Each structure stands twice: as structure tokens, then as C-alpha cells.
Structure 1
Amino acid sequence: MNLSVNKQLRIHRPQFSELHSQNLSGTRKLQHPIWPLNRSPPSSPTLSFSRSPGFPFRSGSDFPNWSTRLLVSSCVPEKFSNPPEPIPGPNGESGSAQVPEQKDTSIVKILRESNSLLPHVVLGSTLLALVYPPSFTWFTTRYYAPALGFLMFAVGVNSRENDFLEAFKRPAAIFAVFITPMLSLLLIGKRLPVDVKGMMSSITQIVVVPIAAGLLLNRFFPLICDAIRPILPPLSVLVTALCVGAPLALNIESVLSPFGMTILLLVIAFHFSAFVAGYFFSGLVFHKATDVKALQRTLSYETGMQSSLLALALANRFFQDPLVGVPPAISTVIMSLMGFTLVMVWAKRKE
């Protein structure tokens, strides 16, 4: 029995040795392959010139006199091509590698978001005009109308046709061009001469024409509007700062006088009551509306924010007494500060 087992072992041992030798030879073949003549070996790390990634550069007459960029393409070993290892968390657990997102800090985005600085600019220009009036005295009254026209032009560029179709459906703002001179004649016509036709013409030139020009430019030349739209917000902020600070600086003596203090209290009471009345009365009348809060805030702005810059331009153009420009000058500052304060407060509540 033992002899038969030994014979079987002796018979089968050569088969195991042959199998082992075949495995070894196969491993050697895998480590050092002999490639046939009709096949090329795998590519090794190469150095290539290309104009852009994925576009190989070929020397010759196909691409004469092209500037090239040096790109190094190599076969990366497998151990370096694996995805990044997970970063352990604070408690020892592993998490996926996270690449920090880069915020868009382009110049165009910064210019477009410059309107967010408007409340601070208005406050700063007010303080600067009170502390150092010569910083704004060069911006005389003759610049008020062009400055306001520029602001209206910016409104037209950033508006669409549907916005003005809604305005024609509710023509209260359009009638203001004719109603404002009529009210001036009715209220102060007995004491001061009022040029009704001149006021209508000035309002049309300052408000209607710039808005229409911006709207037509946006309609027929959209590429030009896209080019100038990023620079309009910072320019509008600058012009607004000048329109706020210049009236105070030019009338600093009247503003700081007892007359100016009286006007200041009256203007504060007027705008404050207008903001409050617009908010609460709209809530009482439209209490069944779907979005009452948004409607209340809109009507509060509508009643509290008035055309003080337009009043200032008309006052300095049609009335010779410089004291006529003091109320709209103070109103421009108070109205802007109150309005922007409400914007910031309501924005924080919404967040």
C-alpha cells in the first residue's frame, strides 16, 4: 500500500513541477513581454507641444508661425492617479475630500453690487457736506438737471417694455408731468410767479426723455446696453452722493440757521408720517391680499419717497430766491436716510 502511494506521488510530482514552471514562465512573460512587430509598445512619458490642451501641435506647414505653449503630458502611475484620500473629520470619522469653492469676485460683479453701498454713501456725503462744505460746492445748481437725467437714463436702461406698458395702464406717474406745475400754480401762484409751460418742459426733459432714451437703447441696441450696464451702478451711486451733498454744502448757512432747523423738523415729520401712513393704511385697506406685508412695504416706499431731487432742480431753475431750494435739499437727505434704513431693517427681518 505504501509502495503504491509512493508511486502515485512520484508520478504526480513531475506534473506539479511542470505546472509551477509554467506559472513562473507566464509571470516572466507578463513582466517582460515580447511585442510583435506589427504592434507598438505602450506609450512612455512624452513631452509634447500644443496650442491648447487636447490639441496636438504638428511641426510643418499646416500651422505656420503659431505661438505655442509648453505642455507636459505623461503617463501618471496608478498610485498617483487615484482620487484624493478622505480627510478625517474632527471625531476621527473619514469624510470625502472637499475642495473649497472660490467665490466670484470679478470686477463686473463688484460693480453691479455697488448699489448696496448707497445708504453708507448717502450718510457719508451728508456728514462730509456738513463738516467740509467745499468738497461739494463745485457741483453747482446747473448740474442738478443733467445729474437727475442720468439717473433716469439708468432706470430706462435697466427696464423693459412691459414695465412701461404697466405704467400706461396706471398713468398716475405720467399725469404728474402736468399735475405738478398745476399744483404749484394753485398753491403758490398768488405769491410767486410760476412758469407752468417751463415746468412741464423741464420735467419732460429731465424725466421722460432720459427714460425713453434708455428704454429705446435697451430695445434696439442690446449689446451697447450690456456693455455699459456694469458701470451704471457705481456712477449712479456717485451722482446720488453729489446730489445729496451739494445742496447742503451750497446752502450750509441756511440749513444751520433757525430757519433750516425748522425746515428740518417739518421735513422729518412729513416723511416719517408718509412712511407710517402708507404702511398701516395699506394694511387696513388690503388686509385680504395674499401678500399683505410686501404690499404694505411697497406702498410705504411709494408714499415716503418723493421726487425731492426733481423739486430741487425745479426750485433752483424757476425761483430766484435761494431759500426755495433749502426744503428739497433737506428732504433729499432725510428721505434717502429713512428709505435706506427701512430697506436694511426689512431685509434683515426677511433673512
Structure 2
Amino acid sequence: MALLRRPPLAPSPAAAASLPHHRLHLATPHTHLTRPPPSCPRLRISAAPSLRPLRGIPSTRCHAAAGDPAPAPSQAPGGARAALVRVGEALSLGFPLWVASACALALWRPASFLWVTPTAQMVGLSFTMLGMGMTLTLDDLRTALLMPKELAAGFLLQYTVMPLSGYLISKLLNLPSHYAAGLILVSCCPGGTASNIVTYLARANVALSVLMTAASTFAAAFMTPLLTSKLAGQYVAVDPMGLFVSTSQVVLAPVLLGALLNQYMGRLVESVSPVMPFIAVATVAVLCGNAIAQNASAILASGLQVVLSVIFLHGSGFFFGYVLSRMLGIDIASSRTISIEVGMQNSVLGVVLAGKHFGSPLTAVPCAVSSICHSVYGSILAGVWRSMPPNDKQGA
């Protein structure tokens, strides 16, 4: 970490107290840190290069050394907790590989995943969403009011581009009714938590990504049942109230609980957070494998059509998410974030809802394929955008 350069003359206590907290810049060979106010004698600075402050939001929050808890022995570098964190990060980065491996195993040995019950699906997804909620605080959710343009654009594109793309693609490819319903269902789901990881790798706006995921997830209790019933009702019978109850149970309630735990029980969240990536990756892989295993023979017979439809769906989300954001005058980094958020769906939610509320297990197949497809898309985009830093004033 770069050292603080003290000015030649120390300011008086009154002058120091009047210094605004937001005049703090990361030290580089050509910049320096102004002396922090007395209330912030030591700053904890994140090493993540993509965690830029949100445009229009002053960085006023700091952590005083006197209020920081002493690090536990398990949190020391090289300790068990640090090892768990590193393994969790490795699992998250290899997310597409684990899901693809599970789906391949399900096609080869379907019995490997047929043990998963509907109750196990609900519990697994609930724990995954609880982990997402633990990354948020109530203060984070309140910051949504401070950047309405980016959040409003992302929210609007999330619930227009993807549902309309799912509907049109199912028509153009003349998908069978259950596949069409599944494609529309996953297109109406909120943004996936893996989008936050991809945004970080792409060096885009991570804070905006987290808030967009939270906003679309909270709204999913209403938007997913409403859009699915309107767009997929012509293919299969849809129970919007049943979808609303299930979505609230496995998405809204766990995320709210996680945010409350992070806000008021930070020590507990810090102790369990290293194991959450294990739960998330394992849940997604197992649930997708289960959806594939239940329909292995049908997928082998007509899987190409489903794969093509899912490829077109997510390609449309990534493309129009970026292009329309730029047309709205949003900076490059935030436009990349919106593209990732729109293109990546909570496919596991689609798998769970399809298995619970649709008559044919074939409805879950596009949702399972979607989990692999958007992860591959996102990984490729992250690699490309990481090597192309934003070059405009707003996105830099």
C-alpha cells in the first residue's frame, strides 16, 4: 500500500475537522493522499481495481482504526480462512466449467442427479440467494436513489430486452411449446449473481452491478410471474400467483434476510462468508445437472434447437444491453456493466420454478442450458473488456 505523505505543516484540530472526508485519492506515482481527518486515522483501501466510486456519490464512508476489531488468528494471511477465500474465488472463476461438467455427466449418467428433490431445489436456491444478500447492506440499497439514470436504464432493459427476445426467438425458431415456455421463463428471470463476478473481471462498475442485481431480484417477485404469464401463457398454463409465492420464498425473503444479517450481525456474516461460494457453485451445478438428467433422452434428440435458441437469447441481451445503454448517454464502464447484467440471468431460479409450476420437465431444459451459455458469454466478454479499459472521461 502506498504511504501517506504528510504536508509540511500539520493543520490545526479545527482545520482538520473541517476537511471533507471525500477528498481522498488512491496514491499513484503521480498523485498523493491528502491527510485524512482525525476521525479516520487509518483507512482500509480495497485492492480491487474495478471498484470505482459511483458517479455522483461521494466516498464519505471510512473506517477508523480504533473501531476496527482485532483480526482473528484464522483471518491472518495463510490461515484457514484465507485459504477458503482463495478456493472460493477459484470455484467462482471456474463456474462455467463446473456447470458444463455437471450437465455432461447428467447426459452420460442421468442417475447421478436424479436424487435431487423439489424440496432440495428450494433449499439450495434459498441458501444461494442468502449468500447474495450477505454482500449487501441497507445502506447499499439506499444508494440506488443516488444514481437513478443507470439503475433505471438497467432495470428497464433487464425486463424488456430479455423477455421480448425470448418470446421472438421462440417464435422464429418455432420451438415446441414446453421449450418455448422454458426459454421465456428464463428470459423473465432477474439478473444472476455470477454477473457481479464477471463485472469485476471485466473491470467495469462492480458497485452498480451489485445494486442492479439487487434491484432486479427484489422486483422479480412481481415481474417474473407477470411477464411469464403474459408471454408464455399461450404455450402452457401459467399460475402467476404460484410463481409469485415461490419467487418471494426463494429470492426476496433470503436476500432481505442476508442484507439484515450483514447490516446488524457483521461478525457472523464474516465468519460464514468464505463457504458461500462453495454453496453457490455446488447448488447451480447440481440443479442444472438435475434438469438435464430428467430430460437426457429428449435433449439428445432435439438439443441443438434448444442450444441455438439460448445462444441467440443471451447474445441479444449482451448486445442490446450495451448498445442501448450507450444510446442513452451512459458511460462505457456502466454500459458494460448493464450489458453483463442484462445478458446474464438467474437461470437456477428458472430451473426451480419450471420444476415446481410447469407440467413437463422439458420446460427446465432451456433454463439449465442458459446457465452454461451466459457463463461462457460472460467469461469471453470479461477477457475482452479487461484488455480494453474505458477511454472516455466518464468511464475512466
| TM norm structure 1 | 0.62
Aligned-partner Cα distance in 2 for 1:339–1:272: 10
**Counterpart of 2:113?**
136
> Contact between 1:136 and 1:242, CA under 8 Å: does it hold in 2?
yes
Aligned-partner Cα distance in 2 for 1:105–1:277: 44
Once the two structures are overlaid, the 10-residue window that deviates more, 319-328 or 334-343, is 334-343
Q: How does 1:180-199 map to 2 (within 5 A)?
A: 180-199=224-243
Counterpart AA for 1:143: A
Q: Secondary structure at the match of 2:94?
A: helix
> Aligned match of 1:112 in 79, 82, 85?
85
> Contact between 2:307 and 2:369, CA under 8 Å: does it hold in 1?
yes
> Aligned match of 1:154 in 131, 154, 170?
131
Once the two structures are overlaid, the 10-residue window that deviates more, 306-315 or 103-112, is 103-112
- The Cα offsets for residues 163-185 of structure 1, whole Å up to 9 and x where unpaired, read as 22245776853443223222222
> Contact between 2:96 and 2:372, CA under 8 Å: does it hold in 1?
no
**Counterpart of 2:300?**
256
Aligned-partner Cα distance in 2 for 1:126–1:189: 28
Structure with larger Rg: 1
Aligned-partner Cα distance in 2 for 1:124–1:191: 31
> Contact between 2:314 and 2:343, CA under 8 Å: does it hold in 1?
yes
Q: Which one scores higher on RCO, CA 8 angstroms, separation ≥ 6?
A: 2
User: RMSD of aligned C-alpha atoms?
Assistant: 2.6
How many residues of Structure 1 are paired with residues of Structure 2 in the alignment?
244
Counterpart AA for 2:371: T
> Contact between 1:218 and 1:225, CA under 8 Å: does it hold in 2?
yes
> Contact between 2:238 and 2:357, CA under 8 Å: does it hold in 1?
yes
Counterpart AA for 1:282: S
Once the two structures are overlaid, the 10-residue window that deviates more, 116-125 or 266-275, is 116-125
Shift of 1:151: 1.0
Q: Secondary structure at the match of 1:281?
A: helix
Structure 1 moving runs of 4+ over 6 Å = none
Shift of 1:266: 0.9
Shift of 1:190: 4.7
Q: Is there any run of 5+ residues in structure 1 with no aligned partner, and where? A: 1-102
| TM norm structure 2 | 0.56
Q: How does 1:283-298 map to 2 (within 5 A)?
A: 283-286=326-329, 289=330, 292-298=331-337
Aligned-partner Cα distance in 2 for 1:120–1:327: 18
Shift of 1:267: 0.9
Q: Secondary structure at the match of 1:201?
A: helix
Aligned-partner Cα distance in 1 for 2:385–2:118: 35
> Contact between 1:111 and 1:233, CA under 8 Å: does it hold in 2?
no
- The Cα offsets for residues 29-78 of structure 1, whole Å up to 9 and x where unpaired, read as xxxxxxxxxxxxxxxxxxxxxxxxxxxxxxxxxxxxxxxxxxxxxxxxxx
> Contact between 2:315 and 2:343, CA under 8 Å: does it hold in 1?
yes
Q: Is there any run of 5+ residues in structure 2 with no aligned partner, and where? A: 1-75, 156-215, 390-396
> Aligned match of 1:302 in 332, 338, 341?
341
Shift of 1:349: 4.8
Q: In the alignment, does 2:385 pair up with 1:342?
A: no
> Aligned match of 2:323 in 275, 280, 295?
280
Aligned-partner Cα distance in 2 for 1:325–1:149: 18
Greater percentage in strand: 1
> Contact between 1:145 and 1:313, CA under 8 Å: does it hold in 2?
yes
Aligned-partner Cα distance in 2 for 1:270–1:220: 40
Shift of 1:206: 0.8
Shift of 1:104: 4.3
Aligned-partner Cα distance in 2 for 1:256–1:304: 26
